Chains A and B, each alone.
Chain A
Amino acid sequence: MRTIERIVSHISWGLAVAATISIFVIIGLIMADVVTRLFGISLPGIIELVRTSFVVSVFFAFAYVIVTEREIRVDVLRYVVPTFLLRYLDVAAALITFVFFGFMAWLAWVSLHDALTFGIFMDGELLLPMWLPWATIVIGSVAAMVAAACLAVRAWTSPVHKPDPTQVSAAARQVV
């Protein structure tokens, strides 16, 4: 299990790196558009390239969000729930994420298939193929499913911990 978890966190890190590169590409595209516009030149297709890259930025980041347990959760009641229940709740929480990305991957797979079969392209001057974003969503969502499955196993097998309020400020100091 340790090995699997290590592989999953490597893959999700790799995808997060791709997501980050993609966001820098977006910055570059937007700046190129702004600067050339000042000189009376309009670059075609910037918006489609930005949109396609942004799908990479968002969907490739999900797996890393999940394995690093950075999903947004409300923990108001965690402090009053009996400890033995927390394990079940954590597994259930991971499964909800798993189902969410499962549906997302399945629907994107169907759209990917259609986009390839019918040669569907994105609105705009470049006629970018739609299989690009759909494939991105399939890859990102499948990785997120695997990450969520890992999280469920981790929640089931590792000792339950109640968050310690005194840890807050210590962790906060590491933020910057």
Chain B
Amino acid sequence: MDKATIITLVLGGSFAALFLGAPVGPLLAFGAMAGLFLLTGSFEAATSLLLAAGFDVSSSFGYIVIPMFIMMGAVAAQTGIVNDLFDAAYKLVGRVAGGLAVATCCASAAFGAVTGSSISAASAMTKVALPQMQKYGYSTRLSAGIIAVSGTLAMMIPPSLMMVFYGIIAQQSIGKLLISGVLPGLFTVLVYSVIILVRAKLNPSIAPAGPRFPVSEIVRSSVKASPFLLVLAALMGGLLLGVWTPNEASAGGVVVVILIGLAKRSLSFQRLFHAGVDSIVTSAAVLVLVMGSILFGKFLALSGITSGLTTMTENAQLSSFQLFLLLVAVYLVLGTFLEGISILALTVPIVLPIILKAGWDPIWFGVILIKLIEIGAVTPPVGLNIFAVKGAAPELKSSDIIMGAVPFWISEIFILFVLYFAPSIALFLPSLM
């Protein structure tokens, strides 16, 4: 069997099985092992990397942020802290149709400032924001969609593990890369908010306007919600003062939330424990997917499909904008079935020389790549953020999450072009360094 046939078979078979409801993580691993077997003819070679993927994911310090931030959200939910926050947000902006979705988006961005993992942001925000939006009558699609897409802000807004990873592969200034994500992240929040408000205006039933509250009530609810700000302050303060690294801060966040819950006397041991079980179960469901995705990336690397794509690009003589369009198209395709780290690992070493030849700023390109990976994270069939929302709220239909994300997905493409034509959005802050 030739390579093209093997690739077609494995990709086709995996996609079909995915859509028919196979468990994603095990399926990707299964597809990868089948592909590796067909490519190498060796059963030993085909299965050799499975255990390493399993051990790596379950023993890496970097992945610990996933259960930690999920637990932070779950414990916060148990203590009522987050309910207070959304109550305050509702009273502040709820009278505007779509206001609570805007608040969710801003809360995700704030959460993104303390986590580098978009999966954990999406999982935690699902636990926290979804029930609230449903309680207030928001449509399931809008609620799930905004949580899935705004979870990706965690990759753009520093700290971002993805940026660090890109910086190391591309050998670029990590400080500049991290800071370059701030304005594009805030710009994205703005665009999402406008979309929500416009859609709510056009169709108030998906995001109903709430009652107007007296100022005293808004102030009172804001004061009640202030413990959440305490969490953010502790996390950010700890990070900026060098008390802890982002990974350690995730564990610190859990401790701070537990302490607040105990102080408020709203957290029992039993509730804490159940929040713990829930978080670890959700994390395990997400991490098995990361294992499968890693293996699938290995199969693609061995098949040569990615290097084949880039050779083709080099041979065609393209204008800067044509190259941009082409890269966007390639990354959108890769983003459908691969997660970010694999995409970066596979493509940056090959693409970087091309973009340097085109005279593009590699810091700016980092922002573009992160944006494309954000888009990939909400593009089916392998959309990690869609899965994270689904994992945290299994009763949701994937189709609802996906459909809910579509309007924002389209706006992400718009933002990409804005970033292309106005690179200073990404490059202004790093230029001050």
Contacts and interface: CB of A to CB of B under 8 A. Distances in A.
| Direct A–B contact present (CB less than 8 angstroms) | yes
Interface of A: 16-17, 19-20, 23-24, 26-27, 30-31, 33-34, 38, 47, 50-52, 54-55, 57-59, 61-62, 64-65, 68-79, 81, 89-90, 92-93, 96-97, 99-101, 103-104, 107-108, 111, 133, 137, 163, 165, 167-169, 171-173, 175-176
A75 B64 contact: no
Contacts of B127: 175-176
B101 to A, nearest CB: 16
Interface in B25-69: 25-27, 29-30, 33, 47, 50-51, 54-55, 57-61, 63-64, 67-68
A119 to B, nearest CB: 18
Contacts of A54: 58-60, 63-64
A74 B285 CA distance: 13
B276 A23 contact: yes
Contacts, number: 200
Contacts of A62: 284, 288
A26 B279 CA distance: 14
Interface residues on B, range: 35 or more
B349 interface: no
A133 to B, nearest CB: 6
21 contacts: A16-B280, A19-B277, A20-B280, A27-B255, A30-B251, A31-B252, A54-B60, A55-B55, A57-B283, A69-B394, A70-B391, A71-B24, A74-B381, A79-B397, A79-B399, A81-B20, A93-B23, A107-B47, A137-B54, A168-B400, A176-B127
A64 B285 CA distance: 10
B320 interface: no
Contacts of B64: 26, 50, 54
A4 to B, nearest CB: 22
B267 to A, nearest CB: 13
Find the residue from B33, B59, B71, B285 having the highest chain A CB count within 10 A: B59
Interface in B262-298: 273, 276-277, 279-289
Interface of B: 17-27, 29-30, 33, 47, 50-51, 54-55, 57-61, 63-64, 67-68, 71, 77-78, 83, 127, 130-131, 134-135, 140, 243-244, 247-248, 251-252, 254-255, 273, 276-277, 279-289, 380-381, 387, 390-391, 393-400, 402
A30 B47 CA distance: 34
A73 B22 contact: yes
Contacts of A30: 247-248, 251-252
Given A23-B276, A72-B285, A168 B140 contact: yes
Contacts of B78: 176
B390 to A, nearest CB: 6
Contacts of A64: 281
Identify which of A54, A59, A65, A74 gathers the most chain B CB atoms within 10 Å of its CB.
A74
A58 B395 contact: no
Contact of A172 (B24, B33, B282, B395): B395
B51 A27 contact: no
B30 A68 contact: no
Contacts of A69: 394
A68 B21 contact: no
Given A54-B59, A73-B23, A169-B140, A65 B397 contact: no
B284 A175 contact: no
